[in-house]
Homo-oligomer: A and B are copies of this chain.
């Protein structure tokens, strides 16, 4: 998340009651969780195991639970509980907007775009031109929707990321402040769920078509002209390149890359990154010809047992 304007480290530290280690006039331009940081960002780290990663990341300010010298060109904010401090900052800059209006008055709806009845549009949602949003769709903020987009009934854009930190007293939620971006000419079927990024963007690329009951997790980036059949589930922080086809009920685990033009047959389960331009099948998925040979091989076991008996 990029802040509406630049803040000094002092202003940020005051919000979370943290102790500055470094220059109080240091400039902060946004906040991101560690996987999405860019220069100017503030991020957090609360476990010694990840100190090095955080201190060496692109982030220029790190909320940390140990007092130490900041690396060159960076600043630290000491906090007993960096996770809580981070969440507090996110909540401060990205307040959930209660409303009693189906279409928030601050939402921007482009020319020629039509909303059927029962559609909810949150604050800071921008919808382009000539879109058709069918009845009972929900678009939570923040989301940016391009031109000529069709969203079918019951679909929910911008649910929170499914992202928790395990603590002694149960799971604590990482508050989502990321966006959903839906590019031009995308069509999304009925009762789909597309979560917002934790701090970055969930993106559906230009011309991609999703069937019904599809799940797209937080911070996942789908390329252009992909086709996903019904009941596909894609976890968070996945990259799907252009022209990928996922058939019905395929499941994709988090943090993977599916290469350009890959085709994944129905009910397959993707547990590692896939090279583009090939066809895959199975759970766990393999290249389809290899998987097909395995299925044939299994049918030869009785013959093997028979031979061994002799």
Q: Which residues of A contact B (CB under 8 A)?
A: 96, 98-102, 114, 116-118, 120, 122, 132, 134-136, 138, 140, 150, 152-156, 159-160, 162, 164, 170-171, 173, 185, 187, 189-193, 195, 206-207, 209, 211-213, 215, 217, 224-225, 227, 229-231, 233, 235, 247-249, 251, 253, 266-267, 269, 271, 283-284, 293-295, 297-302, 304-305, 307-308
Closest 5 CB pairs of A and B: A120-B135, A170-B207, A193-B212, A297-B301, A138-B153
Q: Is the interface of A mostly helix, strand, loop or mixed?
A: loop
With A159-B190, A297-B298 as known contacts, state yes or no: A217 contacts B230, CB within 8 Å.
yes
A-B contact pairs, 10 of them (CB 8 A): A96-B132, A102-B117, A102-B118, A136-B156, A154-B155, A154-B156, A193-B212, A193-B213, A213-B233, A251-B266
In the complex the two chains form, what is the Cα distance from A198 to B116 in whole Å?
A: 21
Chain B residues contacting A156 (CB-CB under 8 Å) are 136, 152-154, 190-191, 212
Other-chain residue from B114, B153, B301 in contact with A301 (beta carbon distance below 8 A): B301
B120 pairs with A120, CB closer than 8 A: no
| A65 CB, min distance to chain B CBs, angstroms | 24
In the complex the two chains form, what is the Cα distance from A227 to B166 in whole Å?
A: 11
